[in-house]
Amino acid sequence: MNILFLGDIVGKGGRQAVLEMAPLLKKEFNCQFVVANAENVASGAGLSAKCIQEMTKEIDVFTSGDHVWDQKNFVSEIKQFTNVLRPGNVSKVQPGKCFGTFRNPACGEIAVINLLGRVFMRDGASCPFETADKILNEIPSNINCVIVDFHAEATSEKAAMAHFLDGRVTAVIGTHTHVQTNDCKILPKGTAFISDAGMAGAEYSILGRTVDSVLRKFISGMPERLPVVETGIRVDGVVISYGSNGRAATGIKTFSRISSI
């Protein structure tokens, strides 16, 4: 079985590109299930019910990260969705759920977990390693596929999480940096890993934002509005393969495609 994981979707252009490319990618890689990080789908910062509803046809599970509450209405909107996750290692008073099991006719039950890194990230997250242990204790042992979206800045923290969970989950996929890394591998005990899956965002941009605005921010050190580039969209991600041998992955490979958007 094959699972398609899409990197951080940025803005309207990213959404449109994913809607265009997801069916093609599923066919190309024979994927039965799709997970996507959606924390930047609403104008490049946060999520909204409208954006999620627009993409549900092609995406089975939406994960998020440190920008999950950037759109204030989503604090109440998230409650209507069973397939949208927020990070697990934050306060329990935050709405929504941080993991779930999802049944797919082609590949049975799949568990997806969302965690937030702490190194170089916003304050407020508790230990993601302890949280991962607690969540795994709640997932039935007969579920052969467990995917972890670890939304974190530091590649060292992401690699540490992958080795910590090696043999206990099918894949640890890093998100957040919007830059696809060249380190996908299967670890010794069978867990697939990549530091960052990349993004669905503009090829000629800085992490999906206009080059001029980001340069002004770096050069001046002043606050700057960072508009999203909505055309020339590249869709990055990985394909995770697994079988019936426990939770072990049998393969992981990257892809990067330019859409017509």
CB atoms within 10 A of CB 33: 23
Listed residue (153, 136, 87) closest to 115, CA to CA: 87
Long-range residue pairs from 67-75, CB within 8 A, at least 24 positions apart, any chain? 67/39, 67/40, 68/39, 68/96, 69/94, 70/42, 70/45, 70/46, 71/42, 71/43, 71/45, 71/46, 71/47, 73/48, 73/49, 74/42, 74/46, 74/47, 74/48, 74/49
163 catalytic, yes or no? no
Contact status, residue 229 vs residue 259, Cβ threshold 8 Å: no
Q: What is the SS3 assignment for 261?
A: coil
Locate the DSSP E strands across the chain: 2-6, 8-9, 33-37, 61-63, 99-104, 108-116, 145-151, 171-175, 185-186, 192-194, 199-202, 233-242, 249-258
Distance of CA 108 to the CA centre of its chain: 21
Active-site entry in 67, 151, 176, 178: 67
Distance of CA 199 to the CA centre of its chain: 9
Tokens coding 227: 């508009």
The label of the residue with tokens 């949280």 reads 131
Tokens coding 28: 């190309």
Q: Which amino acid is at 125?
A: A
What residues are annotated to the active site? 67
